[in-house]
Structure 1
Amino acid sequence: MSTPAFADAAPSSAARAAEVWASLGSVTDPELDEPVTELRFVTGIEVDAEGRVHIGFRLPTYWCAANFAFLMADDMRAAVSSLPWVRQVTVDLRDHMYSDTINQGLARGHSFKATFAEEAADEDLDELRRTFRIKAYQRRQEAVIRHLLDRGWAVTDILDLDLPHLATLPIADPETLKLRDRYLEIRREWGGTSDNAFTSAEGEPVTPATFGEYLSLLRRVRINTEFNGHLCRGLLQARYDDAPTEGEPTLADFIAGRVAKREMGGHDQCRK
């Protein structure tokens, strides 16, 4: 996705705005594990000569979960604040039932619990983040495993693969390379200390006997996440009358793909 245009911006301001945009690309929707920039949640960036940054932020519906909204807004603030020249970051969540509450809490440097007080007494954002990082690990892992299966790798060879060899596999296709690198990135967080390329999030080994069941688990995570991602894009397009980016999948594409696969009798299989 291209960086938004900034009218009448001096070259230095435009360069700094591009840096901000690149930093925001590292921030993901916690449930979907997709960058907020690619999801079109970021509506604009303003940078002034004093190093102050203003970020416009929107979500697919007025009722999107407050904890998810806060997580993304806080992650955006943290990512951009890490740039050495940034002096202040304002994340401006718009068109949301808790816009004012979240914007004020972030401006004061408050946590989610401090921002929502009694309403968030039992909320643990760290546990929520952990839950969805595990799902992100599983989804990224499944993408790499499916790629290897599609290219004829045997299950035993996949399970024997170690991290150094996975990291050096020759991959010419840019999209496949991106999948592999994103998985290796999150593999540092999860999967324990084993050198095995593919383990459960807790570091437990996957064996040929458990591979089919494990792959089914990963597949369920992928389908659920893909559905939610297409739904979010569809709601965002309907709410703001946005045309989808060229080549961007829609909810209709997802449903049509699932129906077509069912009618053809297709389903994911693991090679043994």
Structure 2
Amino acid sequence: MSALQHQHDRKTGEVWERLAMVTDPELDESVTELGFVEQVSVDHDDGVEIVFRLPTYWCSANFAFLMADDMRRAVSSLPWVREARPQLRDHMVAEEINKGVREGMSFGDALKDFAAGGSLDELREKFRRKAFERRQETMILALRGMGYEDPAICRMDLSTFDAINFDSEEIARQKPRYRELLVERNLANLAGDRAFVTYDGCTIKRHEMVSYLQRLRGVRINMEFNSSLCRGLLAVRYREVDGDRSSQTPGPCGGCGSGCSAQAVGPAVMKTHSAALV
């Protein structure tokens, strides 16, 4: 392998690593793990093109815009990248989203012909809360599984939490993700700060833990359902586009694999992952 090819492969790998840090705002899962990113290419001038597709043609434009903009920001943070160009394909407003993100426009300006103007700050905040609560529930349940009782979890400070080693690879992966949001929200920075508080910074009291976890469980179940739905729709949609019908797996209804399942769940997607334009 030539030195030039080696450098190109290294840069491509770095781009994929940055993209793995970008999440679907509603699902809090990596866009690469979800299979949304189809292709990455680095040109000779260090411009990067990222081709991505979503589960349906009508996936919410605001979610799509957020993901495209987050991809651009994440990849542009690499010091050698001259320009990052996310390219959404097979979507009802792909052209408007691609142009808007490329030119640094706001969502309201980019989609002014389709939606009322405004920023996506409120939407970002809504999904940041959900991500925090899902990650927090994961950590609390893991600690319970290790024998920690609720009073100890409620009192646990950041230094104690940092010192805990989790045997589960998945829990160990989620630990820094939860901590990242603690710091981002300025909920815990110092060693003595509580590691488990509400998203608004309130103390979680021992007698409230059961009801608090019940609410977090509802958040997680909703996100997991939408995640499964999106994965299924993405798989069915692009097997059909690629003409590989013979290897289709059953759709969400578990039925005949003819595509009827995808048609049946279409309205559900519009109510969940494909919310109305804002």
| TM-score of the aligned structures, taking structure 1 as reference length | 0.83
**Matching of residue 38 in structure 1 with residue 33 in structure 2:** yes
Equivalent residue for 2:194? 196
> What stretches of structure 1 move > 2 A for 4+ residues in a row?
118-124, 170-174, 189-194, 250-253
Matches of 2:131 and 2:252, distance apart in 1: 20
Match for residue 120 of structure 1 among 108, 115, 134: 115
Answering whether residue 164 of structure 2 is matched by residue 169 of structure 1, we say yes
Q: Residues 11 and 116 (structure 1 numbering): CA distance in 2 closer, same or farther, change over 3 Å?
A: same
Distance (Å, rounded) in 2 between the aligned partners of 1:189 and 1:47 = 31
User: Which position in structure 1 is the counterpart of 2:129?
Assistant: 134
- Letter matched to residue 218 of structure 1: L
How far did residue 86 of structure 1 move?
0.8
Aligned equivalent of 1:179:
174
The 3-state SS of whatever aligns with 1:172 is coil
Q: Does 1:69 align with 2:64?
A: yes
Secondary structure of 2:49's partner? strand
The counterpart of 1:212, out of the listed 201, 210, 213, is 210
Within 2, Cα distance between the matches of 1:134 and 1:37?
A: 22
1:60 aligned partner, one-letter code: P
Q: Which amino acid aligns with 2:58?
A: W
1:135, 1:221 within 8 Å by CA — same for their partners in 2?
A: yes
Q: Using the TM superposition, give the Cα deviation of residue 120 of structure 1 relative to its aligned residue in structure 2, in angstroms.
A: 3.3
1:164-202 deviation per Cα after TM superposition (whole angstroms, max 9, x unaligned): 110111233322211212111111123735811111000
Identical amino acids, percent of aligned pairs: 46
- Which residue, 222, 232, 235 being the options, matches 1:234? 232
Letter of the aligned partner of 1:164 in structure 2? S
Match status 1:80 vs 2:78:
no
What residue identity is the alignment partner of 1:83? L
**Would you say 1:224 and 2:222 are equivalent positions?**
yes
C-alpha distance in 2 between matches for 1:197 and 1:184: 8
Between the aligned partners of 1:14 and 1:252, the Cα distance in structure 2 is 41
Secondary structure of 1:192's counterpart equals: coil
Q: TM (normalized to structure 2)?
A: 0.81
Contact 1:134–1:201 (Cα < 8 Å) also in 2: yes
Q: Is the CA contact 1:191–1:199 (under 8 Å) kept in the aligned structure 2?
A: no
Per-residue CA shift, 1:137-159, capped at 9, x if unaligned?
Answer: 00000001111112222111111
Q: Give the aligned partner of residue 275 of structure 2.
A: none
Deviation at residue 251 of structure 1 after TM alignment: 5.9
Whole-angstrom CA distance in 2 between matches of 1:77 and 1:190: 23
Structure 2 residue runs without a partner (length 5+) = 245-250, 255-278
- CA gap of 1:209–1:132, structure 2 versus 1, over 3 A, is same
Counterpart CA distance in 1 for 2:253 and 2:138 is 22
Corresponding position of 2:53: 58
SS where residue 130 of structure 1 aligns?
Answer: helix
What is the CA–CA distance in structure 1 between the aligned matches of 2:194 and 2:157, rounded to whole Å? 4
**Counterpart pick for 2:138 among 133, 136, 143:** 143
How far is 1:212 from its partner?
Answer: 1.1
Q: Which moved more, 1:223-232 or 1:234-243?
A: 234-243
> Structure 1: how far apart are the matches of 2:185 and 2:207?
22
Offset of residue 204 of structure 1: 0.5
Task: Identify the range of structure 1 (29-38 vs 147-156) with the bigger mean alpha-carbon deviation.
Answer: 147-156
The match for 1:256 is none
Q: Distance in 2 between matches of 1:85 and 1:38?
A: 25
Partner in structure 1 of residue 153 of structure 2: 158
Q: Which moved more, 1:125-134 or 1:145-154?
A: 145-154
Q: RCO higher in 1 or 2 (8 Å CA, sep ≥ 6)?
A: 2
Aligned residues of 1:32 and 1:225 also touching (Cα < 8 A): yes
C-alpha distance in 2, partners of 1:201/1:59?
A: 29
- Residue deviations 1:206-253 (CA, integer Å, cap 9, x gap): 11121111111111000000000011001001101299xxxxxx9689
* Structure 1 residue 119: Cα displacement: 3.5
Q: What amino acid maps onto 1:236 in structure 2?
A: L
- Secondary structure of 1:120's counterpart equals coil
1:4-54 CA-partner distances (Å, limit 9, x unpaired): xxxxx9221111100100011111000001111111110000101111111
